[in-house]
Amino acid sequence: METLGFIGLGRMGSRMAGRLLQAGYSLVVFDASASAMEQMVKAGAKAARSPADVASQAEVVLASLPVPPVVESVALGQDGIIHGSRIKLFVDMSTTGSIFAKRIAKGLASRNIVAVDAPVSGGIAGAAKGTIAIMTSCSAEVFERLQPILAVMGKPFLVGSEPGQGQTMKLLNNLLSAAAMAISCEAVAMGVKAGLDPNQMVDVLNSGSGRNSATQDKMKQFVISRSFALGFSIELLNKDVRLCLEEAEALGVPMIVGSAVRQIVGITASLEGPEGDMTAIAKPVEKWAGVTIKAKE
């Protein structure tokens, strides 16, 4: 099987890269963390010296990186993939927003490198299981070329043909995810204060029209259990919601509810710090309501 490049071996990237190795692909990898590189090399990957080095050994280079400036540096920087001698396709699985995606695509086009934005949703568990949604924006021809690779990591969707359209889809997804988490915490906190059992409340909600991603996948598992360990940071969610509202403003789309969601996410990020989990949105809600969302003893 062909050799692929993979840059960014964090919580999501390491699991996606691991699935590619398990599927039989040869993998050349790079990460700023030496320990992350070491773990992937032990699994069978080959270490590269820089993003440019990765792009000199593989025609298809994938990336999973935390914030837009890092993606831009990896793509267009001094040691970026733009300086690789072999690369033809750069598949960005990070969440950067459409403005950065368009900027990176334009920069890479000057070297005849096709940029594909392919952000993902489904969390660490989904990345490990290969069940993440991959929101791809590229030509039908490029999508056909990439589909077997992407299918190893999850379910690829061709959502658009223009740079940035995959990013827009991802931001909308994460805004809805944040909104579901915020309103579910408020609703359950209200029920707790009224004397209802939170576990039973979640069961009822999931059997009725109030069910959503938070009640189904997060409230019992990470809030009521008090683990707050979903694995997606409140800092990254704050970044995604901010990017979404900035794009909405540029498009002239009102985001009244979205603005309220941004406030609670931003407050939580300020209180919890960069390592706080997105499920910690429950904490300021609990404090203001004067309750704790936990199982009745």
d(CA 128, CA 296): 33
Of the residues 42, 129, 170, 239, only one is catalytic, namely 170
Whether residue 201 contacts residue 295, with contact meaning beta carbons closer than 8 Å, is answered with no
For residues 202 and 219, give the distance between their C-alpha atoms in angstroms, rounded to a whole number. Answer: 7
Angle at 284 between CA 168 and CA 227, to 5 degrees: 85
- Is 287 known to be catalytic? no
d(CA 65, CA 9): 8
Which residues are catalytic, by number?
A: 170
